[in-house]
Structure 1
Amino acid sequence: MTSLAMAIAGTAGVFPADVLAEGWRVETGVTTRAIASDNINFSPTAPSSDTLLELNPTVRVTRRSPRLTLDAAYTPRYLYYTQDTYDSRLSQDFNGSGRFEVIDDFMFLDARAVSAQRNQSVFNAVPTDATLAANQLSRTRTYSFTPSFMGTVRLGDVATWRSNYNMLRSETSGLAANTLTSETFNGSLASYPARLGWKVDVMSNRTESDRSASVDRKSIVGSLIYRPDATADFTVRYGYEDTNFSSQRSGSTYGLGMGWNPSERTTFRADYDQRPYARTNNVNLTHRLPRTSFTASYSRNLTNRAEQLLSPTGTTDLVQTLSLIEPFASEPDPVLRQQMIEAYLRANGLSRYVVGLSPILSDRQYLQTRWQLSATRTGPRNTLSLSVFQTESDGGIGAIGPAVGDDFAASRVIRQRGWTATYSHRMGSVSSLSLSFTSSKSDGRTQTLSSDRDVLNTTWSTQFSPRTTGSIGLRMTRATVTAGDVDENAVIATLSTMFN
């Protein structure tokens, strides 16, 4: 909280007075939760029954204006174990993001801060509710700050340029305490949109950590872009990339890309690049009907721990999915649209994020291949969402030296796969019943190492007043880890109140 509060206060100090005077919204509330579990430590050999009582007050500050966008929430979570399986503790969670337009259409400042408990390993049995087994959890804080610039230059015709400099820091406490920092510069100079255009991209990245040698990457890539009409574009790329991976992998990089947007309902984008260290791909397809949306994605890119925490892998964001379908898609204001969706999720007892996989917490730059298929159908009383996903992470691509204290120390290649299904039914004007099932498997392909996990949640929720909601539900977890089978059954009750 201290770091986020100082960041918000320090940033607010440089804002003009008129920016601070209007359009701010402060929301406060509190959620209490009781979890009675027959295996609260998720142990395959010595399960312990206990009841966890949580007190979770929340403060959320939002701002929407032509110059400033801010969304910051802070939740100090107090956890008390009635049978003393673990010591009572205070878990300070925060999640904030913002953008400030310093100079009109020229200079912008973007910031992001996230703090939460994370599973220490993809081979643990802790479910998506990462609050119970304290011995399997680590505290991770990630901060990102990005000043960016854009403008026009005169090169015969008008060309546009954009550049940004991103500073990122991620800290993890616990058994594998470490710090990762990254600095990245991106610059792009592009011709004015026309039937035939061009673009030049430059990139420089340096990543350092306590547990891994520094990684340097630099590249310059030129592109030719052909736009036969307003709905399609085709791109050819060629350039040079220099890295200091385990074997100095430098040389030419080249690729192809295409985009197709035949209507507001359908978008498609595909990119292929051959780099000195590996082939990379990105494919995304989205199609929506009035009440149904479909998304498909495939990617193969370098990533790291911080990027995975800022953009979770194997996660379905229902706000993002529902924004494509009615009655939300017809709302032109993105702020009002998100508020409509969040109110809809609360009314139907649904969580915004459906997490199927735990992130790999490694300080290495690693190559991750990921695909995901998702579909959502919403009706007057029913919502159904299905997502299938798989990732394969190779810790040897960007490695320098042996892996120490992370998942890649157990296996250089880790494959994760699974699926999540969620169904919600509105039983009346204020009550709903939701059911979700998540099945996932993580295994190390180079050794006999795996973890299977199935989690079933069923929850009844209701609204007691315009500002107060409550729920009661049952969770059943069945997992298999290297030490044996893990079974957990829990009854979960919550009561939430918004004060304003």
Structure 2
Amino acid sequence: MASRRRPAATARAPELARFSRAALPPLWRPGSVALAALMALGAHAQTAGDLRYYVQPSISVSQTLTDNGGLDKDGQAEAITQVTPAVRVSARGQRVQGSIDYALNGVVYARESDRSTIQNRLSLNSSGGLELVENHLYLDASAQASQQLTTAFGQQTPGGLPGGDTTQVYTYTLSPYLVGRLGSVANLTARVTHSQTITPDASRFGATTDSAQLALNSGSSFSRLGWALVATRSVSDYDASRRTEADSVLGTLSYRVTPEFVVRASAGADWNDYRTVDKTRYDRYGVGFDWRPTVRTTLSAQVDDRYFGTGYNVTFQHRTPRTVWTLRASRDASEINGRGNAAVATVFDLLYAQFASIEPDPLKREQLVLAFLQANGIAPGTLVFTNVLFGAASLQETQSLSFALLGRRTTVTVTLTNSRTSRLDTLATGIGDDFANTDFVRQQGVSVNLAHRLSAVSSASLALSQQRNEGELDTQRTRQRTVTLTWTTQTGRRSSLSLAARHVSFDSDTRPYTENALVGTFSYRFN
């Protein structure tokens, strides 16, 4: 077998190598080992023709000692054991792009054994993913399995533990699409999409959406002036509500003022039955621009006059050698699955963008980020705020600001979010979600994570977070504050141990609680 090769990122960033080398698995190992064998043998990136893939199985055992296992006003001590086998698979090639992160979390309560359960956590993303017919037919796919709130005003739980007003949610999307060229005049894309949300314990939030899209855009014969024409049709069927339809036609003209600056204007029409029994036509207009003054700075903005009022989408990102800033703001219809989502970037997302200047290769960069997070005792999904489920199409307005500072021994990440969600389908009734008693749901969150390397094998981190949810009524207000202090050490090349102290305060008119806990976790990678 060929000898292992050290990743190129190590040579370019010696300061990263010092704290990543122990945790970073090998990046290359030529050969054609089958995926099943990789699962058993550990985490390696393989080359099979142009395909490179990386598989990392792992397992963790966690023991929580808490003074409030039932999350009651008058708490009772509890011991909670969690066993979590997991696997992460990433693939990069000319015909395959994607990653899968799956974990099966078994939770056992010592006293209240009836609360013991099994949770599935899944994240699959293959955007731009599978090339079925070379240069013509592709398939995008995504899937999620997670715990989400059934009401923004319900009880939230600490550390991803079961209970409160949460339920297991499964979502998946399959989207095959065909691309082609009409000479040098136009490019053609035809796409169909099937998306489904499944909530076994809260079926009123289930939904299925099917859509089709046909797009034409300017070909290579056009230089500075570009154009696009897009027609879309979607049908959504909500388990506890009604079937809705939405169609749209949109034409766009763009002009490249400079290689870095593009302006555009659009016009078209929407047809939908969100506010009327039969579909009604609404005209739409918009303007926007894309600006990339440097390779590390991007700014994109779009403003539209839509059937629901003014819609907009603004994204700004700027990177320096040691920081990354991301600003996002949008107001748009959530026509698929009707879900409210206060989540923005995770720690992994922030550092993945930050490490672009260190390691341009996506597969190597992903492994480098995961190794860095493990070496510094930071969970990849630290910045995710809790999702809220809604039972019909909704209107969502969100703003978020994320910041990451990568020091030689200290890493700081900060995220602020604000969102306001209201019912878009005004004819939907009797669903039993939050909009039965309020016209809007506002969510505000802030998360700060400070991690410091104490030595080559150990680190300490402090995580502070607060999330506030509120509606129209005074009784529709909740606030959760969490403080977690964690010490992590590498006990071997493949294993690590962490000890954490946690304090949670949840304020609510109906089910307030405070909780203090000590959590010990042992993790092992099969590589």
- 1:215 matched to 2:266? The reply is no
- Which one-letter code corresponds to 1:303 in the other structure? S
Shift of 1:96: 2.5
Quote the Cα distance in structure 2 between the aligned partners of 1:471 and 1:181: 41
Q: 2:193 aligns with which of 142, 153, 166?
A: 166
Contact 1:179-1:210 within 8 A present in 2 as well: yes
Shift of 1:74: 3.2
**What do the CA deviations read for 1:223-272 (whole angstroms, capped 9, x no partner)?**
11111111011111111110101235522111101111011111000001
Q: Could you say what secondary structure the match of 1:470 adopts?
A: strand
2:489 alignment counterpart? 462
Contact 1:212-1:400 within 8 A present in 2 as well: no
Summarize the alignment of residues 324-335 of structure 1 with structure 2, pairs less than 5 Å apart.
324-325=353-354, 328-335=356-363
Shift of 1:304: 5.4
Contact 1:249-1:277 within 8 A present in 2 as well: no
- Which one-letter code corresponds to 1:80 in the other structure? V
Quote the Cα distance in structure 2 between the aligned partners of 1:401 and 1:363: 9
1:121 alignment counterpart? 151
- 1:399 matched to 2:426? The reply is yes
Quote the Cα distance in structure 1 between the aligned partners of 2:55 and 2:413: 32
Quote the Cα distance in structure 2 between the aligned partners of 1:308 and 1:36: 34
Quote the Cα distance in structure 2 between the aligned partners of 1:130 and 1:307: 23
- 1:92 matched to 2:120? The reply is yes
Q: Could you say what secondary structure the match of 2:160 adopts?
A: coil
1:196 alignment counterpart? 225
Q: Could you say what secondary structure the match of 1:315 adopts?
A: coil
Q: 1:189 to 1:446 in 2, by over 3 A?
A: farther
**What do the CA deviations read for 1:420-451 (whole angstroms, capped 9, x no partner)?**
11100000001010111111110012564111
Q: Could you say what secondary structure the match of 1:338 adopts?
A: helix
- 1:239 matched to 2:268? The reply is yes
**What do the CA deviations read for 1:190-240 (whole angstroms, capped 9, x no partner)?**
113521121111111111111111121101011111111110111111111
1:27 alignment counterpart? 56
Shift of 1:68: 1.7
Q: 2:295 aligns with which of 255, 264, 270?
A: 264
Contact 1:233-1:260 within 8 A present in 2 as well: yes
- Which one-letter code corresponds to 1:494 in the other structure? T
- 1:300 matched to 2:321? The reply is no
Q: 1:65 to 1:22 in 2, by over 3 A?
A: closer
Q: 1:100 to 1:406 in 2, by over 3 A?
A: same
Quote the Cα distance in structure 2 between the aligned partners of 1:249 and 1:477: 48
Quote the Cα distance in structure 2 between the aligned partners of 1:168 and 1:356: 22
Quote the Cα distance in structure 1 between the aligned partners of 2:88 and 2:343: 26
**What do the CA deviations read for 1:306-353 (whole angstroms, capped 9, x no partner)?**
4758xx533332222223335x52312011111101100011111122
Quote the Cα distance in structure 2 between the aligned partners of 1:409 and 1:423: 40
Q: 1:414 aligns with which of 431, 438, 441?
A: 441
Q: 1:336 to 1:25 in 2, by over 3 A?
A: closer
- 1:181 matched to 2:219? The reply is no
Contact 2:419-2:442 within 8 A present in 1 as well: yes
- Which one-letter code corresponds to 1:237 in the other structure? S
Quote the Cα distance in structure 2 between the aligned partners of 1:68 and 1:176: 34
Q: 1:369 to 1:332 in 2, by over 3 A?
A: same
Quote the Cα distance in structure 1 between the aligned partners of 2:76 and 2:57: 35
Summarize the alignment of residues 99-118 of structure 1 with structure 2, pairs less than 5 Å apart.
99-118=129-148
Contact 2:338-2:392 within 8 A present in 1 as well: no
Shift of 1:48: 3.0
Quote the Cα distance in structure 1 between the aligned partners of 2:342 and 2:200: 21
- 1:252 matched to 2:279? The reply is no
1:15 alignment counterpart? none
Contact 2:206-2:337 within 8 A present in 1 as well: no
Contact 2:339-2:390 within 8 A present in 1 as well: no
Quote the Cα distance in structure 2 between the aligned partners of 1:71 and 1:31: 21
**What do the CA deviations read for 1:147-180 (whole angstroms, capped 9, x no partner)?**
01222114xx521122321101110122455421
Q: Could you say what secondary structure the match of 2:370 adopts?
A: helix
Higher strand share: 1
Using the TM superposition, name which of 480-489 and 338-347 deviates more: 480-489
The number of residues matched between the two structures is 477
Using the TM superposition, name which of 425-434 and 443-452 deviates more: 443-452
Quote the Cα distance in structure 2 between the aligned partners of 1:79 and 1:187: 46
Summarize the alignment of residues 6-155 of structure 1 with structure 2, pairs less than 5 Å apart.
23-44=52-73, 46-84=74-112, 86-98=114-126, 99-127=129-157, 129-133=159-163, 135-154=164-183
Q: 1:316 to 1:171 in 2, by over 3 A?
A: same
Quote the Cα distance in structure 2 between the aligned partners of 1:284 and 1:266: 11
- Which one-letter code corresponds to 2:382 in the other structure? V
Q: Which runs of 5+ in 2 are unaligned?
A: 1-34, 37-46
1:14 alignment counterpart? none
Using the TM superposition, name which of 351-360 and 139-148 deviates more: 351-360
Quote the Cα distance in structure 2 between the aligned partners of 1:356 and 1:102: 33
Shift of 1:23: 4.2
- Which one-letter code corresponds to 2:111 in the other structure? Q
- Which one-letter code corresponds to 2:463 in the other structure? S
Q: Could you say what secondary structure the match of 1:398 adopts?
A: coil
- Which one-letter code corresponds to 2:448 in the other structure? A
Q: Which runs of 5+ in 1 are unaligned?
A: 1-7, 10-17
Contact 1:125-1:453 within 8 A present in 2 as well: no
Contact 2:373-2:379 within 8 A present in 1 as well: yes
Q: 1:330 to 1:32 in 2, by over 3 A?
A: same
Q: 1:23 to 1:190 in 2, by over 3 A?
A: closer
**What do the CA deviations read for 1:21-71 (whole angstroms, capped 9, x no partner)?**
974544322100111111223223x43321110111123333322212342
**What do the CA deviations read for 1:447-497 (whole angstroms, capped 9, x no partner)?**
641111111111001100010011010111111112153111111110000
Q: Which runs of 4+ in 1 moved over 6 A?
A: 18-22
Q: 1:373 to 1:24 in 2, by over 3 A?
A: closer
- 1:383 matched to 2:411? The reply is yes
Contact 1:458-1:473 within 8 A present in 2 as well: yes
Quote the Cα distance in structure 2 between the aligned partners of 1:40 and 1:399: 40
Quote the Cα distance in structure 2 between the aligned partners of 1:414 and 1:178: 16
Q: 2:306 aligns with which of 267, 271, 275?
A: 275
Q: Percent identity?
A: 24
Shift of 1:295: 1.3
Quote the Cα distance in structure 1 between the aligned partners of 2:50 and 2:224: 45
